[in-house]
Amino acid sequence: MSLTDYRTLGKSGLRISPLTLGTMTFGEDWGWGTNPADAHEILDYYIQHGGNIIDTANIYTKGHSEKIIGDFLAKKTVRRDALVISTKFWGNLYPYDANGGGAGRKSIIQSLEHSLKRLQTDYIDLYWLHAFDPHTPIEETLSTLNDLVRDGKIRYIAISDTPAWKITEAQLIATFRGWSAFIGLQLEYSLLERSVENELIPMALEMGLGVIPWSPLKEGILSGKYTRGNKGQHLSGRNESRMSAELPEKAYQIIDQLASIASDRNVPVSAVAIAWVMHQKGITSTLLGARTMEQVIQNIQASELKLSDKELQWLHELSVPALPFPHNLLSGTADLLQAGTTVNGIKSNVAKILPQSSNDIYE
């Protein structure tokens, strides 16, 4: 596997790299991040190594992230059509303007026009609903996006950070109406955040959505810099207000196992953590949110790292999530459903409460 091991996103013909370059860190407007010159070097490095998809959003660094990418495209050192430019709407950049954000027609159109201007392009390859908007009917969002696809201003549509039931509704409406449907789903996924395995990932597989996880390093916790040795120390100004300096024991067990595998393979800890996500069912491409060139170089190594079945099993057992209802119930029902048979590789016994032979059945 490498950055040129392209795969199609969801139910579409759009080819993208297995690692997506995330650019939320482009711009220092939030008090941390990458200056424009360094960001352009990162873009150059990623593209020169075969990467073809660049992800941003209208609200990243107050619009500066899009502007940095637009200035890079304006230099014409790479053919714009060779890239998949991915950006998002929903976030509101305009204080006290109720229509400045969201998923309504007015907001989508103005958000797109501003993004096109900042990105210095006349179309977006992959346009994302950034998160669930509970105030807008999904039909309005879909019809607007469908119009923009027909107008040629966007090529494909996708969705992020939205409940599985709402995405399912959207996909069915699009199918019945003959509108463009979502082809991608962004969600948080890492060894420390696996709750998406309960509903969102199975839904994506069923509904034709390619999954692009964000935060595979859980805001840097799985990057290798957090260890038992520096327990209690704040190591990042970015997430200091949101996370405790001392992690739970389960997190340190995962960190220890990642470090052991990384040492055996002679690769960075971050590459192992990202590779685990890349190996999971339904994943098309994984977002890299690197702030420095060193981080990019380290993290891209994940695209060439094939974890063994044993390594995957170790990490799976350490991080397996507790399943909510009805998954916690259904996970133990194979004996009742299959009655001693094997179906799709899942084995079963005859449950004790079931008839043990045909002679035990009341007719």
Is there a contact between 77 and 47 (Cβ–Cβ < 8 Å)? Answer: no
Predicted pLDDT at 331: 86
In tens, the pLDDT along 291-350 reads: 999 999 999 999 999 999 999 999 999 999 988 899 889 888 999 999 999 999 999 999
Predicted pLDDT at 230: 78
The rounded radius of gyration (Å) of the Cα atoms in the chain is 22
Is there a contact between 118 and 63 (Cβ–Cβ < 8 Å)? Answer: yes
d(CA 187, CA 212): 7
pLDDT surpasses 60 at 237: no
pLDDT band at 239; cut points 50, 70, 90: low
pLDDT band at 241; cut points 50, 70, 90: low
Predicted pLDDT at 235: 61
Mean pLDDT of the chain: 95
Predicted pLDDT at 357: 87
d(CA 251, CA 278): 20
Any catalytic annotation for residue 60? yes
CATH number of 7-324, picked from 3.40.50.11780, 3.20.20.100, 3.40.50.720, 3.30.420.40: 3.20.20.100
pLDDT band at 30; cut points 50, 70, 90: very high
Nearest to 60 by CA among 97, 22, 96: 22
Predicted pLDDT at 290: 83
Q: Looking at 12-16, 238-242, 303-307, which range is the least confident one?
A: 238-242
- Which residue intervals of 49-94 are DSSP H helices? 64-74
* Phi, psi (deg, nearest 5) at residue 55: -110, 135
Nearest to 63 by CA among 119, 141, 105, 5: 119
Which residues contact residue 290 at a Cβ distance below 8 angstroms, ignoring those fewer than 6 apart?
A: 21, 22, 25, 42, 296, 299
Is there a contact between 138 and 104 (Cβ–Cβ < 8 Å)? Answer: no
What residues does CATH 3.20.20.100 cover in the chain? 7-324
pLDDT surpasses 60 at 6: yes
pTM of the model: 0.93
pLDDT band at 358; cut points 50, 70, 90: confident
Is there a contact between 220 and 186 (Cβ–Cβ < 8 Å)? Answer: no
Q: Which residue of the set 46, 60, 156, 189 is catalytic?
A: 60
Interval 130-140 mean pLDDT: 98
pLDDT surpasses 60 at 25: yes
CA distances from 17 to 4, 84, 188, 313 (A): 6, 10, 19, 26
pLDDT surpasses 70 at 243: no
% of the chain exceeding 90 in pLDDT: 89
d(CA 222, CA 273): 7
pLDDT band at 263; cut points 50, 70, 90: very high
Residue 100: in which H helix or E strand, if any? none
Cross-strand bridge partners of residue 188: 214
Interval 272-294 mean pLDDT: 96
In tens, the pLDDT along 137-153 reads: 999 999 999 999 999 99
d(CA 339, CA 349): 6
pLDDT band at 55; cut points 50, 70, 90: very high
d(CA 255, CA 186): 24
In tens, the pLDDT along 170-205 reads: 999 999 999 999 999 999 999 999 999 999 999 999
pLDDT band at 118; cut points 50, 70, 90: very high
Residue bearing tokens 């109406």: 177
d(CA 88, CA 102): 11
- What is the SS3 string spanning 223-285? CCCCCHHHCCCCCCCCCCCCCCCCCCHHHHHHHHHHHHHHHHHCCCHHHHHHHHHHCCCCECC
In tens, the pLDDT along 97-107 reads: 999 999 999 99
Predicted pLDDT at 45: 97
